[in-house]
Amino acid sequence: MSRLSCVAGAAALSLLFAVPSGASEPQWTPVAQALGKSGNEMPGGIYRVGMPRTDLHVMLDGVELKPTFALGSWVAFQPMGNQAMVMGDLVLTETEIQPVMKKLQDGGLEITALHNHLLRAQPATFYMHVLGHGEPVALARALHEALLLSKTPLGNAPAAAAERVDLNTAMLDRVLDGNGQIAGGVYQVGIPRADNVTSHGMTLPPPMGTAQSINFQSTGNGKAAITGDFILTAAEVTPVMRTLRDNGIDVTALHNHMLDEQPRMFFMHFWGNDDAAKLANGLHAALEKINVKKASAANTR
Q: Choose among 278, 267, 259, 211: nearest CA to 240.
A: 267
CB atoms within 10 A of CB 25: 13
Q: At residue 117, what are phi and psi to the nearest 5 degrees?
A: -115, -25
Task: Give the integer Cα–Cα distance in Å for 45 and 287.
Answer: 27
Query: Is domain 13-147 classified as CATH 2.60.40?
Result: no
> Mean pLDDT over residues 186-206, rounded?
93
Helix (H) / strand (E) element for 85: namely strand 83-92
- Architecture of the CATH domain 169-299: 2-Layer Sandwich (3.30)
Contact 225, 219 (CB under 8 A): yes
Q: Average pLDDT of the chain?
A: 89
Task: Look at the pTM and tell me if it is higher than 0.85.
Answer: yes
- Residue spans per domain, the chain: 13-147, 169-299
Task: Give the integer Cα–Cα distance in Å for 69 and 98.
Answer: 25
For 223-254, give one letter per residue: b (16+ CB within 10 A) or e: bbbbbbbbbbeeebbeebbebbeebebbbbbb
221-261 residue pLDDT tens: 999 999 999 999 999 999 999 999 999 999 999 999 999 99
Task: Give the integer Cα–Cα distance in Å for 191 and 5.
Answer: 30
Query: In sequence order, what are the residues at sequence separation of 6 or more whose Cβ sits closer than 8 angstroms to the Cβ of residue 101?
Result: 111, 114, 128
135-166 residue pLDDT tens: 999 999 999 999 999 999 998 877 666 688 99
26-39 residue pLDDT tens: 689 999 999 999 99
Give ∠ CA 175-177-180 in degrees, rounded to 5: 95
Topology agreement, domain 13-147 and domain 169-299:
yes
Residue 44: pLDDT band (50, 70, 90) is: confident
Q: Choose among 132, 160, 157, 159: nearest CA to 144.
A: 132
Identity (one letter) of the amino acid at 226? I
Least confident of 1-15, 16-30, 174-188: 1-15
